[in-house]
Amino acid sequence: MPIWLDDFLWTYQNVVYALGVNGLLGLSMYVVLSVGQLSLGQAAFMGLGAYSSALLTLKLHLPFAIVLPASTIAPVLFALAIGTPTLRLSGVYLAIATIGLGEVLRAAYLNIDYVGGALGISGIPERAGVVSIYSLLILALLGFWLIGRSAIGRAMEAIREDEVAAATMGVNVARYRLGALLTSAVLAGLAGALSAHVSSFIGPNEYGFEPAVTILSYALLGGIGSPFAPVIGAWILTLLPEMLRGFADLRLVFNGVIIVLAVLYLPNGILPWTMRRRAA
Amino acid sequence: MLAQQLTNGVLLGSTYALFALGFTLMFGVLRVVNLTYGFYFSAGAFVALFLTRNVGWPIWAALPAAAVAVGAIAVVLDWLLLARLRRINAPELSSLMVTLGAVLALYAGMTAWLGPDIRRLPAEVLGGEAMIFGPLRITNAQILVLIATGVMVTALLALMRLTPIGLALRAMAENPDAAGLMGINTGRLAALVSFICGTLAGAGGVLIGLNFNAIQPYMGEAMMLRGFVVIIIGGLGDIRGALIAGVLLGVIEVLTAGYVSSGLKEAVAFAILVVVLWTRPSGLFGRTQIRRA
């Protein structure tokens, strides 16, 4: 590796990690939005992945090859508990229950001494890196690209556009929705485990309301026309605050305003191009 | 001990009911889940803090002033964020997302402006000895809670049930397009509902600020969890359900904190929410219509 590249990676290591992790989070938002639902539990799922993986590494000394897949278990269980009843109702219920989940888990992490309370968990060994993060991101992108072009992608789009018509055409709406939510929980859990194992510290306040809304802003800025759009949205919103360091306090204000403007004036995001699909 | 806990629980719960009432009213009449609602709560507490601390008003004057000020803020925010979406008949989730983005910007802006520290109301505001009724000890703040929630809830129920405005509001809740065709000015009513909801949330913020004496920009976010639990237990859009569920939640929280652990009260509230969603999604009182997907 040339020295300048080595220097660059060393200096901007955290940004490089954050771009990969946030890309995964953007995708985890994308998959729920693409069946016309709104889940605000991505940050909570990520926190569950981060906490469970950190505990598995530190308390049980398991190898990362086991920890990483195991980090998806807790988010999937919570997604099942919340998703199964709410996905049968109007979309408002899932959104409300998932915002509530983030707030509850924050309070739980703060009050359970076993997971470090307000101090969080520190001293997590650095087991993940550029290779693991980006290979997962590429795999996920590839997977969504292929799914998007298949009959499954067509069914998901049909549900998003008109769920009654989709159901009439024989699409099992409830199953697709639950599948999308569980996929999103898996991705967010993996992102949480990866970020915990590159940053050595996790705390109860990292997975609350603000990151939940920020993750939504990734997908709304990019749009959900193709799986690349939310990743690019995530990258823009991760890089911008790095370049505008002086306005650090206003970063969240900016993310919030992005959402407002995107919903009111740019409902398809800044990358509205959709995937081509062969006729059935 | 139990009697005291129950009293505290009912008084805390009546504040939750007051708060959730506006939230559920907004959903019932305007059909939006307006998440800026949590910001109204924080804003109410800060306006009252400013009036009592910097201007020197007594709390009984600061409370209604804060409520009215927040009501005005709510009208402006509704007009900026939601009026357009209502006009184009946007899907429910759009309004949820817009207000979510807006509330993050508002909280973050408020934190940047006022700082993240916990602030306290001046000591003389809470003043006076607690009153003793047999085994019960009731503070002045709790008496204010009781009076304020009593007055506001009675006024709202009277407005909804006894006046032509209430009739128009109920018509709008039933079917906004038909209400418009019948000559009801739905735009103006939407502003009125926003104002009422703003005053309810603002007053809730002042009362909770008074009860726990801790005021902080993100306090509304923690409160929204209670709001969600109350409106889902009570049934989305159901006013009476929200009142009962609010009081119930207050009692459960106080009992959990008193007999189990104060760290578990959020978890208990949320567990109830999940159980209700699994078993009775239309709320414990089951009067609201559920729109199934």
Q: What is the pLDDT of residues B159-172, one digit of tens each?
A: 988 999 999 988 88
Using a CB-CB distance cutoff of 8 angstroms, which residues of chain A are in contact with residue B292? 88-90
Q: What is the pLDDT of residues A145-163, one digit of tens each?
A: 999 888 898 889 888 888 8
Is the residue at B74 inside a domain? yes
Interface residue A92 vs chain B (CB under 8 A): yes
pLDDT band at B151 (very low <50, low <70, confident <90, very high): very high
Is the residue at B279 inside a domain? no
CB contact under 8 A, B101 and A92: no
Is the residue at A118 inside a domain? yes
Is the residue at A217 inside a domain? no
Is the residue at A254 inside a domain? no
- CA distances (Å), A99 to each of A39, A102, A115, B225, B249, in order? 8, 6, 22, 8, 18
**What's the domain count of chain B?**
1
Is the residue at A84 inside a domain? yes
Residue A134 is part of which domain span? 3-207
Is the residue at B211 inside a domain? yes
Is the residue at A64 inside a domain? yes
Q: Which of B113, B112, B110, B91 is nearest to B102 (CA)?
A: B110
CB contact under 8 A, A103 and B221: yes
Give the pTM: 0.89
CA A58 to CA A135: how far, in whole Å? 24
Interface residue A40 vs chain B (CB under 8 A): yes
Nearest-neighbour CA in chain A from B248: distance (Å): 18
Whether the predicted pLDDT of A194 surpasses 90: yes
Closest residue to A90, CB basis, from B106, B277, B293: B293
The residue behind tokens 């807006």 is B102
Residue B23 is part of which domain span? 13-217
Q: Which residue of B has its CA nearest to A78?
A: B274
Nearest-neighbour CA in chain B from A10: distance (Å): 31
State the ipTM, two decimals: 0.85
Is the residue at A170 inside a domain? yes
**What's the domain count of chain A?**
1
Nearest-neighbour CA in chain B from A160: distance (Å): 11
- pLDDT at B225 (0 to 100): 87
Q: What is the pLDDT of residues B82-125, one digit of tens each?
A: 988 888 877 778 888 899 999 999 999 999 898 888 888 887 77
State mean pLDDT over A2-7.
76
Interface residue A201 vs chain B (CB under 8 A): no
- CA distances (Å), A227 to each of A62, A149, A222, A257, B263, in order? 33, 11, 9, 23, 40
Contact B128, B137 (CB under 8 A): no
Interface residue A112 vs chain B (CB under 8 A): yes
Q: Which residues pair with B215 in a beta bridge?
A: B119
Is the residue at B62 inside a domain? yes
Contact A181, A78 (CB under 8 A): no
Is the residue at B242 inside a domain? no
Using a CB-CB distance cutoff of 8 angstroms, which residues of chain B are in contact with residue A213? 100-101, 104
Is the residue at A179 inside a domain? yes
Closest residue to B293, CB basis, from A88, A264, A267: A88
Mean residue pLDDT of chain B comes to: 87
Is the residue at A216 inside a domain? no
Is the residue at B49 inside a domain? yes
